[in-house]
Amino acid sequence: MITRRTLAATALAAAAMPARAKSPIVPLVIAHRGASGERPEHTLAAYTLAIDQGADFIEPDLVATKDGHLVVRHENEISGTTDAASRPEFAARKAEKVIDGEKITGWFTEDFTLAELKTLRARERLPAMRPGSATFDGMYAIPTYQEVVDLAKAEGRRVGRAIGTYPEMKHPTYFAGIGLPLEQRLADTLRTNDLDSRTAPVFVQCFEVEPLKTFGKIGKARRVMLVGQGPAPVDVKSAAGIKAIAAFAEGLGPEWPLVIPTTGGVLGAPTELVGWAHAAGLQVHPWTVRAENAFLPKSLRRGTSPADHGDVEAVFKAIYAAGVDGVFSDFPGLAVKARG
């Protein structure tokens, strides 16, 4: 009998192989910021729930503190995911900055020490969309990447299967420009934890090309180039473009409609992207499948509210059928169920 544990173990073992196997792909389930549809994102509670739901990898976004620690937040601006804006002792930290060409006002991790950030508490980023998750506001601290690695190892022992981490370097060019480069800090953390290898349960992801190249000079973990549907620094519309990505990455993380396009509110036929990537030796891990109507094509929406859950299983099934090697989701339990 094939169990969830067997499927998960097979998926993780396949991910650890440096070359693509000839056997059928068992796609990885990657918990996007943890089970972030059900708990405030990037908290140890969200990661633990994702593991309980069967996720193979948990994804932490990495930003830096003033004193050089890697902490886990979606952005370095944290007023939307913590209670920083309501804390009078940090009122003077409010600032306006230009991050990757965009002017942003708020509270930023690089203006806090780790000890100061640890006094803040996480909150749901989309409370109107995810009121159930918002009931956990104020309960959890901001974790460091080391804490996430420790959790993955401890939870792996508890559930009897390896759990990987899938760190994303956020705004690495910006952080390098203020004297807090992320690449070396990440490489050092992986090395300290015996995770600095092609076969370790780690993928390092980024939307920027040069930081991935830099990381490849100082670390051995597999790299994944992230690409959205809009303008991108790489070409994913041709086999030649994707082959060029393979010169500095081992995987490709496309926004999921680049694999399964939606036209007229319905799911279309798969593009050639997965085939091109596999021919170039790249794994393909699309992002991010969410269950709410607001994030689904019109034909798959159910109910009347943007927050209602639609037929997300149809999206998972279509993506899996396209031959991907993994998928990111805010709802890893649903991704596991569809995979099974």
CA distances from 28 to 150, 234, 324, 333, 340 (A): 21, 24, 9, 12, 12
Which residues, in sequence order, are CB contacts of 9 under 8 Å at separation 6+?
161, 162
Select which of 42, 69, 74, 171 is catalytic. 74
Q: How many CB atoms neighbour CB 270 within 10 A?
A: 17
Structure tokens at 283: 């794994």
Q: Residue 327 belongs to what H/E stretch?
A: strand 326-329
Q: Read out DSSP for 247-289?
A: TT-SEEEEBGGGTS-EETTEE----SHHHHHHHTT-EE--B-B
Tokens of 278: 């596999």
Give yes or no: 42 in active site.
Answer: no
The one-letter amino acid code at 322 reads: A
Q: Catalytic annotation on 69?
A: no
Which residue is catalytic, options 32, 171, 278, 285? 32
Rounded to whole angstroms, what are the CA distances from 113 to 60, 110, 117? Answer: 19, 8, 6
Catalytically active residues are 32, 74
